[in-house]
Structure 1
Amino acid sequence: MRILQLTNKAPWPPTDGGTIATLTLSKGFFLLGHQVSILAMSTEKHHTRLDEIPEHLAAQIDFHLVEVPAKINYRDALSNLLFSNLPYLASRFINEDYSEALIKLLGEKEYDVIQLEGLYLCPYIPLLRRHSKALIAYRAHNIEHEIWDRSKQMAVGFKRLYLSLLTRRLRKFELDYLNSYDVLVSITERDGQMLDRLGNTKPRITSQTGIDLSTLVPTAKDLEFPSLFHIGSLEWGPNQEGLLWFLRECWPLIHAAYPELTFYIAGRNAPAWLETKLKMDGVAFLGEIEDAYKFMNSKAIMMVPLRSGSGMRIKIVEGMALGKAIVSTNIGVEGIAATDRKNILIANEPGEFLQAIAALIENKELYRSVCKNAVEFIREKFDNLAIVSSLIDFYNRQIND
């Protein structure tokens, strides 16, 4: 099968959930014998050159990059607010150069499936209809308007008013593109059902982001027990909101109960204002980590205090694959179907976080059981090749019907 993936961020290096979801699937397609091309926007935030992509990866996937700045600035945001009905986040990715590159690519090669990696590629569907007969698949990484609606709930003043407007525009944008594709691929069943309720009538499959189990090997050789850690992109609003809430509401209780316990925070692109707020007793801010898996293996309990966001948290899946004991909110674990106190611990309020951490520290049998069950859960449910094979079967049925 000849597959073209369209993405609004370069999938190399795979540094966040979106890029990991795109590249993991691409590699799975290749390993199952399919021809894979990627047309990606190389943005100011996720900038990559072709010569930066590793040779072994370039030999597997036909990469095409288009320079699309897509930068965020207050002047453009204000102009969009006053003179456009489009959500500002989406308008940044509607680009003439990308359209021309896409037309050129479609003129050079025929594809069986064109897969849109996320909502912001949907404006290119009319162009695809004019220049290709391929099956068009919309891969919904999350429910975009839900992310901002949840963030709105925690905002105040002008920010809350702006996020309310952005949420309404994003919801309308999502609704406008419902059923303009041929098939819907939801990364979580929850998101798929939500899109069905919003009006999707096209054939749908839930295809989670899989894990290359050969690259995630649990080891306790250098484990620091007890210890807490958080790892994730620190430029992403929901991560910032969750961390600040945790440090304000939960950490004082935890630090008082376990004054020797260290909470390690790792992640890329933390703004200066956030770094300042992370300077607290018992908190160690490490910034971007060279080897994320080595870091995760060295720490005991992973904290995911998300209170907004949507889709599936790849870092939870990676943490479970590495045998980490994870304490997460219900929002953090959405779409993963993990079981409280079996392979993860769920906490939503400050007292619940303290109780979960205390249970894992004081009860080593529970700690070991959760870690072991987490690995088994991921190996059973998130094997990448099995997930990709099921998606290919779905595409073949749609093409041959």
Structure 2
Amino acid sequence: MKILILSHRVPFPQNGGYAIVVTNTIKGLVNEGHDVSLVALNAKRNSHESNLPDEDLMGKINYRAYDIDTTVTILGVALNLFKKTSFNIDRYYDPEFETLLLREVRTNNYDIIQFEGLFVSLYMPAVRKASKARLIYRAHNLENQIWWRLSQQKIDPFKKSYLRMHARRIKNYERLRLDMFDAITVFTRQDKETLLEYGIKVPIEILPVGLRLEKYKPDISKTEFPSLFFLGSLDWLPNREGMEWFLESFIGDITSGDLPVKLYVAGNDIPERFDDYEALGKIFIQGEVDDALEFVNSKSIMIVPLLSSGGMRVKIVEGMAMQKCIISTSLGAEGINFTDRHDIMIANNRDEFYDAIQQCIRDEEFCIQLGKNARLLAEKEHDINVVIKNLVTFYQNCCK
């Protein structure tokens, strides 16, 4: 099949969940013998040369990136108050990019055009007119849920009202736009049920996050026990607010010794204010790491304190593949077919996190066994080879 992947960010390097999913999909489709093109918006205006895929993949796909300015200004936010749409989506629209995209789809006879998330769905109506391809939408998250859940965390009535307004606007947009696609894929049963509740009529397929499991080679001999760690992009608001909550909740316990364990925080775009949480010999704010899997392997207990989100957390699936003991909120582990205290430990408030951490740091054998069970679950349900075969079957059914 001839397939175009349309992405709102350059998925290279694979330093976040979105990039990992998009790149693994492209590699999987190429390995199955399909003709794949990637067109990506480059919202951060990074150098294209530093954002190229590996040479082997470059020789197998057609790749174009287009710089776009998605900067949020105070004036832009203020003007958006008088519109019916959300600035968070509108800022990804660029008429020049749309012109280039239309030229791309008119000159190539694509069978499938896959829109990776809500931000590129802005271009769907124009693409629909210019191409006979089947248009597939992949829901990485239900964006309105993120904004609604963020509003639930706010005490300030203005902030709460503002976030709820955007949640409503995005929900209205999702209801209208998603039903215009030929089909939708989601990562979780919960997301499919929610879309059906919205009244979406097009086919919806559940396809979980897939990993190239041969890349994930845990080595317990190199793991510091006990140790807590978080790995994720902190420019994503749910991650940032979750980690701020965790640090504010446990900084005293970790530094005073009530929880005799070190905490390591790593990821992209960590705000400078997080440096204030550093505590000599106790809490380490490391920023971006050179080798994410080496970092994960070197620590024993992954924490995922997500309070607002949706979809499936790729970092949790990676943690499972690396045989990690994982403590997550129910929301963070949403969509993963886990058994609490067998594959993952679930903690939804401070007391539950405290008790889970205490158990894990006191019982190394329990921690190791939990990680082994998690790896088996990843092998059973998150093998990219299986996921891609199911995705291709879904494409073929859409083209009938």
Q: TM-score normalised by the shorter chain: which range applies?
A: over 0.9
User: Aligned to 2:218, what secondary structure does the other structure show?
Assistant: coil
Alignment identity in percent?
34
Kept in 2, the 8 Å contact 1:242–1:305? The answer is yes
User: Aligned to 1:391, what secondary structure does the other structure show?
Assistant: helix
Residue identity matched to 2:2: R
1:21 positional shift: 1.4
| Cα distance in structure 2, aligned partners of 1:31 and 1:339 | 33
* Pairs within 5 Å for 1:2-401: 2-44=2-44, 47-49=46-48, 52-53=51-52, 54-82=54-82, 84-157=83-156, 158-253=158-253, 256=256, 258=258, 260-278=260-278, 282-400=282-400
User: Aligned to 2:222, what secondary structure does the other structure show?
Assistant: coil
| Cα distance in structure 2, aligned partners of 1:326 and 1:239 | 16
1:15 positional shift: 1.8
User: Aligned to 1:214, what secondary structure does the other structure show?
Assistant: helix
| Cα distance in structure 1, aligned partners of 2:343 and 2:189 | 20
| Cα distance in structure 2, aligned partners of 1:57 and 1:81 | 43
Deviations 1:330-361 (A, max 9, x none): 01100112111111111112121121112222
1:156 positional shift: 3.1
| Cα distance in structure 1, aligned partners of 2:364 and 2:277 | 32
Kept in 2, the 8 Å contact 1:226–1:361? The answer is yes
Kept in 1, the 8 Å contact 2:213–2:379? The answer is yes
Unaligned stretches of 5+ in structure 1? none
Deviations 1:284-335 (A, max 9, x none): 1111111110011000101111111111111100011000000000011001
| Cα distance in structure 1, aligned partners of 2:365 and 2:113 | 48
Residue identity matched to 1:331: L
RMSD: 1.7
Residue identity matched to 2:193: Q
Kept in 2, the 8 Å contact 1:250–1:353? The answer is no
1:159 positional shift: 2.1
Residue identity matched to 2:91: R
Kept in 1, the 8 Å contact 2:4–2:112? The answer is yes
1:221 positional shift: 2.5
Kept in 1, the 8 Å contact 2:226–2:301? The answer is yes
Kept in 1, the 8 Å contact 2:309–2:331? The answer is yes
1:369 positional shift: 1.4
User: Aligned to 1:44, what secondary structure does the other structure show?
Assistant: coil
| Cα distance in structure 2, aligned partners of 1:30 and 1:41 | 21
Residue identity matched to 2:252: P
User: Aligned to 1:247, what secondary structure does the other structure show?
Assistant: helix
| Cα distance in structure 1, aligned partners of 2:255 and 2:264 | 13
| Cα distance in structure 2, aligned partners of 1:97 and 1:124 | 11
| Cα distance in structure 2, aligned partners of 1:11 and 1:292 | 16
- Relative to structure 1, the CA distance from residue 346 to residue 254 in structure 2 (aligned partners, 3 Å threshold; closer, same or farther) is farther
Deviations 1:104-150 (A, max 9, x none): 11122110000010112222221122111011101111110000111
- Relative to structure 1, the CA distance from residue 349 to residue 91 in structure 2 (aligned partners, 3 Å threshold; closer, same or farther) is same
Deviates more, 1:130-139 or 1:58-67: 58-67
TM-score by length of 2: 0.95
User: Aligned to 1:353, what secondary structure does the other structure show?
Assistant: helix
1:271 positional shift: 1.5
1:209 positional shift: 1.8
- Relative to structure 1, the CA distance from residue 48 to residue 340 in structure 2 (aligned partners, 3 Å threshold; closer, same or farther) is farther
Deviates more, 1:208-217 or 1:242-251: 242-251
Kept in 2, the 8 Å contact 1:10–1:48? The answer is no
User: Aligned to 2:200, what secondary structure does the other structure show?
Assistant: coil
